[in-house]
Amino acid sequence: MKVAVIGAGYVGLTTSACFAHLGHDVVCADLDVERVARLNKGEVPILEDGLPELVAEGLASRRLRFVLGATNAVLDAGVVFLCVQTPESADGSADLSFVEDVAREIAGVLQPGTVVVTKSTVPVGSTRFVQRVLSESGARAEDVTVASNPEFLREGQAVHDFLHPDRIVIGCDDPGAAVRVSDLYRKVQSPVLVTDPASAEMIKYASNAFLATKVSFINAIANLCEAVDADVREVALGMGYDPRIGFQFLQPGPGYGGSCFPKDVAALLHTANQADSDFELLAGVIQVNRAQRERIVEKITNGAGGSLSEAVVAVWGLTFKAGTDDLRESSALAITRRLLEQGAAVRGYDPAAGERAAREVPGLDIAADPYEAAAGADVVAVLTEWDQFRWLDFDRVRDSLRNPAIVDARNLLDPAAMRRYGFRYDGVGRR
Ligand code: UGA
């Protein structure tokens, strides 16, 4: 089946390369001339495990190609996936203008029988909104069906998650169209859940909001552990053995970030407010996340001796989590900005996104490695859990610091070992 994918970002690119890998003919469209040209040469602009290999495989087999503009992609497609961005508006709602623009552009050229699928994270009601925009713009309702097929891809593991999903959710009122979409995944082992469109859209938001709630919950427990002299790592382990709770997403840290959780939690809260449905719990999740960033700033201030003005802070890790080069809504970057605002000199190191971080945060110096970042600093802050930070020569780090203090916002390091090296160590929720 011919598949068109509109948008060559994280989701669109992964979707395109994986569908080509599964044997479909895929045309992926983007508006960025340079991005399209580079992709056609096999140059993948994002850090995503396994993606360059799948793009190369797709180009070599001619099952994957990249074109400029949505119209060129959809001409003879049977299924069209909308994977364009839905950024957060000023009021917290998801901005659907990119989705709307694409729907208007392609309405007149879709083949009869095409299924248009929203994969971008779109608010409840968007599937029907897209159907309406398509009809208004010249697509006949009896010819074009719209479905929702939300993605559950983690950045850094998106290819794995696409090919080994926990579930495939298809929201569509037309069973025939739902079967056509599910058929694209026939080589993938996974439960397939067919629902009405609104429920599919809600599944996506509820899943991300629930995971964000777990993160805020364990951050709140970590803070309480500090107050009562308990260790959150033991607590999370003891909780996780209960299969109703599970081990995942119980890592305390500097607060969740990325292009999804902050935006999606805000959008769900906005939806609840619009619907006059009380969801104080979500407001609390956002509040805990904000406070957690401040709490890490306080720990760094203490590590630097009580004041940030005149202090030199070494920041290890700038991306929103390890294994990605994505800086969007990164807690590490938000904390870095706060440190600079409060008068600290900040020298950062990140294995994947240092130079870009320096362009985004005026005043941030970037070092070539973690040692250079630490040299002469008053405190080191581990803000992203890159594995390489575990395996450093800590004698060298200690000797180069002006003051041997480490704030480990990811609980990456062993507190006892760090104290043996002679550091003042402060983690999150650890004794
Ligand atoms: C998230 C979801 O996990 C995916 O299922 C979803 O498809 C995706 O959003 C999306 O909506 O597109 P992602 O944004 O890649 O994926 O990041 P996660 O791995 O979920 O981590 C989110 C944030 O929570 C990161 O800042 C991470 O450091 C933080 N986190 C996660 C913790 O602080 N503690 C944990 O135990 C887990």
Please tell me the distance between residue 317's alpha carbon and the centre of ligand 1 in angstroms: 16
Please tell me the distance between residue 431's alpha carbon and the centre of ligand 1 in angstroms: 26
Going by alpha carbons, the residue nearest to atom 29 of ligand 1 is 256
Q: Please give the number of the atom of ligand 1 that sits closest to the Cα of 254.
A: 33
Whether ligand 1 lies within 6 angstroms of the CB of 162 is answered as no
Q: Give the pLDDT of residue 135.
A: 94
Residue located via tokens 């991005």: 35
Indicate yes or no: pTM above 0.75: yes
Q: Please give the number of the atom of ligand 1 that sits closest to the Cα of 212.
A: 24
Contacts of 331 (CB under 8 A, 6+ apart): 253, 254, 255, 256, 257, 292, 293, 296, 320, 383
Q: How would DSSP label each residue in 130-193? A: HHHHHHHTT--TTT-EEEE----PPTTSHHHHHHS-S-EEEE-S-HHHHHHHHHTTTTS---EE
DSSP lists the bridge partners of residue 25 as 2
Contacts of 83 (CB under 8 A, 6+ apart): 5, 6, 7, 9, 11, 12, 15, 119, 120
Please tell me the distance between residue 212's alpha carbon and the centre of ligand 1 in angstroms: 8
Q: Give the pLDDT of residue 93.
A: 86
Task: With CA atoms as reference, report the closest residue to 107 among 132, 86, 128, 85.
Answer: 132
Q: Please give the number of the atom of ligand 1 that sits closest to the Cα of 257.
A: 26
Please tell me the distance between residue 261's alpha carbon and the centre of ligand 1 in angstroms: 7
Q: Tens place of pLDDT for every residue, the chain, 431 residues?
A: 799 999 999 999 999 999 999 999 999 999 999 999 999 999 999 989 999 999 999 999 999 999 999 999 999 999 999 999 988 888 888 899 999 999 999 999 999 999 999 998 888 999 999 999 999 999 887 889 999 999 999 999 999 999 999 999 999 999 999 999 999 999 999 999 999 999 999 999 999 999 999 999 999 999 999 999 999 999 999 999 999 999 999 999 999 999 999 999 999 999 999 999 999 999 999 999 999 999 999 999 999 999 999 999 999 999 999 999 999 999 999 999 999 999 999 999 999 999 999 999 999 999 999 999 999 999 999 999 999 999 999 999 999 999 999 999 999 999 999 999 999 999 999 97
Q: Give the pLDDT of residue 154.
A: 96
Task: Report yes or no: 366 and 355 within 8 Å, Cβ to Cβ.
Answer: yes
Going by alpha carbons, the residue nearest to atom 5 of ligand 1 is 152
Q: Please give the number of the atom of ligand 1 that sits closest to the Cα of 249.
A: 36
Please tell me the distance between residue 309's alpha carbon and the centre of ligand 1 in angstroms: 33
Q: Give the pLDDT of residue 142.
A: 83
Known catalytic membership, residue 260: yes
Whether ligand 1 lies within 6 angstroms of the CB of 169 is answered as no
Going by alpha carbons, the residue nearest to atom 31 of ligand 1 is 249
Please tell me the distance between residue 154's alpha carbon and the centre of ligand 1 in angstroms: 6
Cα→Cα distances 77→70, 74, 80, 312, Å: 11, 5, 7, 56
Provide the token pair at 402: 């002006």
Q: Give the pLDDT of residue 45.
A: 93
Q: Please give the number of the atom of ligand 1 that sits closest to the Cα of 219.
A: 33
Contacts of 29 (CB under 8 A, 6+ apart): 4, 5, 6, 7, 8, 36, 66, 67, 68, 69, 70, 72, 73, 74
Going by alpha carbons, the residue nearest to atom 23 of ligand 1 is 256
* Rounded Cα distance, 189 and 167, in Å: 9
Whether ligand 1 lies within 6 angstroms of the CB of 215 is answered as yes
Whether ligand 1 lies within 6 angstroms of the CB of 371 is answered as no
Whether ligand 1 lies within 6 angstroms of the CB of 429 is answered as no
